[in-house]
């Protein structure tokens, strides 16, 4: 068994399911207790065997967590994610977290809707688990029916999830912000996570009327504020996604500078 180092614990991959479209759900179990996890927080994740290879741990939002386990949703996009999902059950992992100080926090009495795009559904599933009693609508937008397995999996966790696809091949036709707009209700606050074009569309559609809190992605080296690789330009200066976020008030972020 490996020793824990500060924020880092050893976790064992106990469950892995392929959901289609290059997306997997992965569940880890830890022997040491994990601190309480807040919605929007993330872990830096990688198998222990990466020690012998110049691999940095990769950031993933928590979908669900408890004191002795954590679940992630991972889309294979490159070398790191490909290697992680190839691991067998029982593989020993480094789990650094939970990380992030900017999280999703609900204000009682304010109407709230969630808008997810693609793999951005991950942190919003965690937010739903915490705050489903005050969330009036949750729209999950995807490109096409390649995401059917992920949509079914998400629907099993979220009652009343609205699925929308760009080409109309899954759920209703349209982008997630358009579908939420068609629902027509005034919303005090929107929580969003997804690709930058979707975040821009959410801001163009609802900015100035609703408070939009978005979980941002950036390339991360350390996840703990030490390497400056994850900075984003905001009205408050350059902020670190890992330390100051990952959840930000979107009106403060220079969206055109996001990659
Ligand atoms: C706070 C946070 C939470 C995240 N949560 C999830 C999650 O729940 N599920 C999930 O699948 N992914 C999530 N990501 C993105 C995930 O970390 C990257 O996809 C992963 O690190 C890519 O590693 P790789 O080695 O496979 O890809 P690489 O080989 O490093 O890169 C492959 C491609 O992916 C792009 N890419 C790499 N890292 C990122 C990144 N951090 N953000 C955006 N694009 C990137 C690269 O530009 C390149 O085009 C999150 C990122 C952050 C910052
Ligand atoms: S990832 Fe190192 S400072 Fe944010």
Residues 221, 131 share a domain: yes
* Known binding-site positions: 80-81, 222, 227, 230, 242
Give the mutation target among 21, 41, 45, 60 for probing the ligand 1 site: most ligand atoms within 8 A of CB. 60
**Which CATH number characterizes residue 91's domain?**
2.40.30.10
3 within some domain: no
Candidates 70, 77, 99; CA nearest to 11 is 70
Mean pLDDT of 12-31: 97
Using one digit for the tens of pLDDT, what is the confidence trace for 93-117? 999 999 999 999 998 888 999 999 9
Q: Ligand 1 in contact with 25 (CB < 6 A)?
A: no
Ligand 2 centroid to Cα of residue 96, in Å, is: 13
152 within some domain: yes
Number of domains in the chain: 2
Would you tell me how many other CB atoms lie within 10 Å of the CB of residue 144?
A: 13
Closest ligand to residue 238's CA: 2
Average pLDDT, the chain: 93
Q: Ligand 1 in contact with 57 (CB < 6 A)?
A: no
Residues 244, 157 share a domain: yes
Residue with tokens 């998400």: 154
Mean pLDDT of 132-155: 96
pLDDT of residue 137: 95
Asked whether residue 212 carries a pLDDT value surpassing 80, the answer given is yes
Asked whether residue 130 carries a pLDDT value surpassing 80, the answer given is yes
CB contact at 8 A, 61 and 126: yes
118 within some domain: yes
Last residue of a domain, one of 51, 69, 98: 98
Bond preceding residue 98 cis, omega within 30 of 0: yes
117 within some domain: yes
**57 Cβ contact list (under 8 Å, min separation 6):** 44, 45, 46, 50, 94, 96, 223
Residues 63, 124 share a domain: no
Ligand 2 centroid to Cα of residue 191, in Å, is: 23
Give the structural domain span for 52: 8-98
Residues 239, 143 share a domain: yes
ipTM over 0.85: yes
Ligand 2 atom closest to residue 220's alpha carbon, by position in its atom list: 1
Residues 81, 125 share a domain: no
**156 Cβ contact list (under 8 Å, min separation 6):** none
Ligand 2 atom closest to residue 228's alpha carbon, by position in its atom list: 3
Last residue of a domain, one of 98, 120, 149: 98
With a pLDDT cut of 90, the percent of the chain lying above it is 89
pLDDT category at 184 given cuts 50, 70, 90 is confident
Asked whether residue 54 carries a pLDDT value surpassing 70, the answer given is no
Residues 208, 132 share a domain: yes
Asked whether residue 53 carries a pLDDT value surpassing 80, the answer given is no
């Amino acid at each position: 068994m490996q020793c824990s180092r500060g924020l880092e614990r050893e976790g064992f991959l106990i469950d892995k399911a392929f959901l289609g479209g290059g997306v997997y759900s992965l569940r880890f179990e830890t022997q040491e207790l994990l601190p309480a996890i807040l919605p929007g927080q993330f872990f830096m994740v990688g198998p222990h065997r990466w020690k012998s290879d110049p691999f940095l741990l990769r950031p993933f939002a928590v979908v669900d967590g408890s004191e002795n386990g954590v679940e992630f949703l991972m889309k294979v996009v490159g070398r790191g994610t490909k290697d992680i999902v190839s691991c067998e059950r029982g593989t020993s992992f480094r789990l650094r977290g939970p990380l992030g100080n900017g999280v999703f926090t609900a204000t009682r009495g304010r109407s709230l809707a969630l808008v997810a795009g693609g793999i951005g559904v991950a942190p919003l599933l965690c937010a739903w688990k915490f705050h489903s009693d005050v969330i009036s609508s949750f729209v999950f937008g995807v490109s096409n029916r390649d995401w059917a397995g992920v949509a079914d999996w998400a629907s099993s966790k979220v009652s009343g999830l609205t699925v929308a696809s760009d080409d109309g091949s899954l759920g209703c036709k349209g982008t997630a912000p358009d579908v939420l707009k068609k629902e027509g209700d005034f919303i005090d606050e929107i929580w969003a996570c997804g690709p930058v074009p979707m975040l821009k569309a959410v801001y163009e559609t609802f900015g100035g009327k609703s408070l939009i809190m978005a979980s941002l992605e950036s390339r991360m080296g350390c996840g703990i504020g030490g390497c400056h690789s994850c900075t984003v330009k905001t009205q408050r200066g350059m902020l670190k996604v890992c330390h100051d976020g990952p959840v930000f008030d979107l009106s403060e972020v220079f969206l055109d500078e996001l990659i």
